[in-house]
Every structure is written in C-alpha cells, then in structure tokens.
Structure 1
C-alpha cells in the first residue's frame, strides 16, 4: 500500500465517523479488544488527520469502526454487495475526548482474528442480534476466548479493583463491577459494593450486555420488560438502575462486562454514558494485558 493509499483510507474513515457522529470511545474499546497495538498518541493524531499509522493498525481500526457502525444499524445492514462485511471507509476512530486513555501504552496484540471479530460473529454471537449460522459453535468460541485470558483463575486483582472503586465513587452508585460470563455463570472479577462471586448467567443484566458492542443503559429495571422479572430486580438487592458495556477477549469476542448498578432509578445523561465507556476502555486495557 502506498502513502497516498494510506491518506485515502484515513480520509474515508474520518468521513464515515463524522457522517454518523460516531462516539470515538466505542471505537477505542473495539480497537483494543481486536488487538490494536499502536501508541494512543499516534492513533489520536491519525484520527485527527494529522498523521498516519502502520497499515495493519489502520486495518484494525477500520474493522473496529465497522463493528460499531454495524452494531448500531448504520452500516447498510452490515452487508456488502454479496453479503460480505466491508470495513467502514477503511480505517480509524476519532478519539476527541478519550479521557483517561491518552498517554497510556496499549497492551500487546490479542491475536486479532478477522474471521471471528466481525459483528456477525462476535458483536452479536449470543442469541443473535445478528443471525449466525451456528450459535452453539460461536458460543464455544466465545467461552474459549475467555479461558485463553486466564482471568478466571487469578482471583481478585488490584488493577481491576482500582477501576471499580473509582467508578463507584464517580457515578455515586451502590455497585461497580467487572465480570465474565461462562457458559452458565457470571463470574465476578472485581466489585466495589456487594456482589456475589458467582451468579446464574440468566439472572444478570450483563447477559444482555454481551450481545452488543454498545452501552446498555436501564434507567429503571422494574419498568423494563426485559428485566423486571429477574430475581435480583424482584427481590434483594432490588436493582433498579443498570449501565454496562461489553469487554472483549482474544479474537475480539465478547467475554465480559464493566457495569454500574443501583437500587434507585436513575437518569443517565449523555456525559455519564461517555464516562461509562471510558471506564470500560480502562477495564478493556487490563483484560488485554
């Protein structure tokens, strides 16, 4: 690829981002999870149109942009002329205000696998936000991705606890947590506030969160048909508010969540949702280490 090709790729990507008002933090999370290794400062410059990054990194950012666009229903149904996904423009996100991320070195590659990191196979591999040919096989790959991280065997870690403590204080909620979903359980990795170590997967809102690459915000679970009958909503602790974002494992597969919750209903402003994505990006970086 020539230098001029790189600028064309960059320009098309930036145009795609601006045309739909794409939130750059969502793209950062997807980029990290797909194994992006470019220095954040360089990527920021690339996304501002002032510098280029290596071709492989441009391609990974392209795929991250397409992932978020597709999941939001903004990428022509996610299909090309013959049903194949096409990276948006060709590469990049636009981190205008990725607070708390600038200047932090990215983790090593997580074995980016284009075959499984598309939204059709990763962003919606659970219960089909997007149809998949073999949901059982996709779920097996997702769980295998989780197992490859080794995070189920390491117990509590300060690097995760630091994030949940800060998030709980920032959002002024009862609970902030990072957890992973196995075939049948939610496994708590870190929690500020009271959360059981293991929970039935079908009884947690995070089971819905890992079906999408976008943030899931529930102002009042008792008023939401998807969640009102969950045990932890109907009885103790009586969860009302929830906001969460999926985390990725090797291959870009969605393996867990960062979330905050409270026993009181709550309005979640746009600024709050942006802050949620920043905390999720910090958690994602730790997953990638």
Structure 2
C-alpha cells in the first residue's frame, strides 16, 4: 500500500501543541517518509531492529489511519525514521512521545520554524537552532542544580546492569558539559568540545563507541589519552521541551566492549526513566 500524506490540522503559531502520540506523531512520520521517499516496508526493518513487534501490515495500517498502536511502538517508529534519516546524512525528523505538549514560547520572534521545535531545526539557521536548544535546557531547571536521588538511583542501576566503571546524566550547555548525576570517577564539568556527550547531542541518536582509541572522532580526546582513559562509550539522548536534545545518559568503561541490540534496548529503557524525571 502506498503511503499517502494526509494534511495536518492547522495550528496557530502560539497555540498549545497536542501530544505527539496522537495524530501529530503519525503525520510527522508520514511527512518524514515522504521526504525520504520511503514506504512502510522500507521502515519496518529499522523499526524491528529497535525492538518493535508489530508486523509490516500493522505498521502500514497505522500510518494510513486504520489502526492505533501503543505509545512505545509509535516511539520505536519515530526512532526508526530518525535512524534512517541520519544514516543518509539528514537530521532527526520525528520527536518521541515524551516530548509532551507545552505552550510554545518562540526563542526566535517572528520565525515560524521555531514553533516546530526540534522537528523544524533544519529550517533554522544553526545559531537559531542552538539558541532554541539552550532555551529548552534552561527551562528544565536542571543546569547547575544539586544532585538528586531520583536521578542518582537510576544512574546506579545503569552502572550495575552494564557492569561499567562510569555512568552519568550529562547536560550540554553553551560551552561545557554539566554532569547532573554520576557514579564513578570522572570530572563533573568538562569543556563541551571534548565531551563525548556533545556528539550524542549533535546527532540526536544513540551513540556507541566500541573502542575510542580506534575511532577517529575520539582517538585524540584528552579523556581517552588520559584520565579516565575512556575506551567504551554509549550515550542515549535526553530531551527538553519540543524535542530539543539537551544531553544524554552516558555509559563509560576503560576497556573496549560490544554493545548488543539487547543492550541498546536496555539503555533506551533506562533513558526513558531519566526522561520521565526530566519531564516531571
């Protein structure tokens, strides 16, 4: 069945956005597939690789408005679209359901793309997109805040599950990485340009570095060559209002390691718990 992009209801630029798990997310997925010249069958392998259980027929029915899906499967479809887009060198196009409805307060007065949130960042100049991202971070109230058990508890669970030396919730400000929660021996605040988390924020996707010394992006990084001698890194993006990527849940170790599909799903689950605390 060929996907047909249905028109979205018109929204006032200053109206309140509906939850993305309703018609918005489905139409954003459809719009992204149209932009990428893909059909449901092209998306299904990436969706299945994310851990989805629905069939290709069910996905097709959902995208054409004939079937409802649980929020988790909608999120997995959104992640699959973003993975396909980013693999082709494009941006992430669809937010997840944790990007809850909030009144729009544009950071770029008069620029309608600002009202689209992260989904419209490719329409903004780079400095405008970064201003919107930083605004979303500041609105969480987490930057430079004190440690909190609600985050520390999850970070300890992550370290125990993966048996690694360091786990952290990191937030990327304009020129530095602020560590909201950390377990293990590592610096709490570091320059943005050497923070592994900054790459996760830039790509807005799961980042896995099996061996940093063999990865040209990080082989000369001071935290690879010196303390804490990072070899393995995995980071899953965390979001502020309107889907802007503000940081990551980080997993770090001093020895190279593989990171299976099951590991990726588990990290995604831990990140969802952190995201719920950010949104609380």
What is the TM-score when the length of structure 2 is the normalising length? 0.67
Deviations 1:52-107 (A, max 9, x none): 48xxx98xx9798456414422899879xxxxx997xxx999xxxxxxxxxxxx79
1:72 partnered with 2:84 = yes
C-alpha separation between the residues in 2 aligned to 1:182 and 1:191? 17
State the match for 2:108 in structure 1: none
Contact 2:238 2:245 (C-alpha < 8 Å) held by counterparts: yes
1:209 partnered with 2:210 = no
Contact 2:147 2:180 (C-alpha < 8 Å) held by counterparts: yes
Contiguous gaps of at least 5 residues in structure 1: 28-45, 80-84, 94-105, 122-130
The 1:75/1:206 distance shift into structure 2, 3 A limit, reads closer
Contact 2:50 2:80 (C-alpha < 8 Å) held by counterparts: no
The 1:64/1:20 distance shift into structure 2, 3 A limit, reads closer
State the match for 1:194 in structure 2: 185
Deviation at 1:21, TM superposition (A): 3.6
What is the TM-score when the length of structure 1 is the normalising length? 0.66
State the match for 2:117 in structure 1: 116
State the match for 1:124 in structure 2: none
State the match for 1:134 in structure 2: 125
State the match for 1:166 in structure 2: 157
Contact 1:217 1:244 (C-alpha < 8 Å) held by counterparts: yes
Contact 2:177 2:195 (C-alpha < 8 Å) held by counterparts: yes
Deviations 1:151-194 (A, max 9, x none): 11431011100110000000000001001000000000001112
State the match for 1:19 in structure 2: 44
C-alpha separation between the residues in 1 aligned to 2:96 and 2:130? 28
Q: Higher relative contact order by CA 8 Å / sep ≥ 6: 1 or 2?
A: 1
C-alpha separation between the residues in 2 aligned to 1:258 and 1:86? 21
Contact 1:176 1:191 (C-alpha < 8 Å) held by counterparts: yes
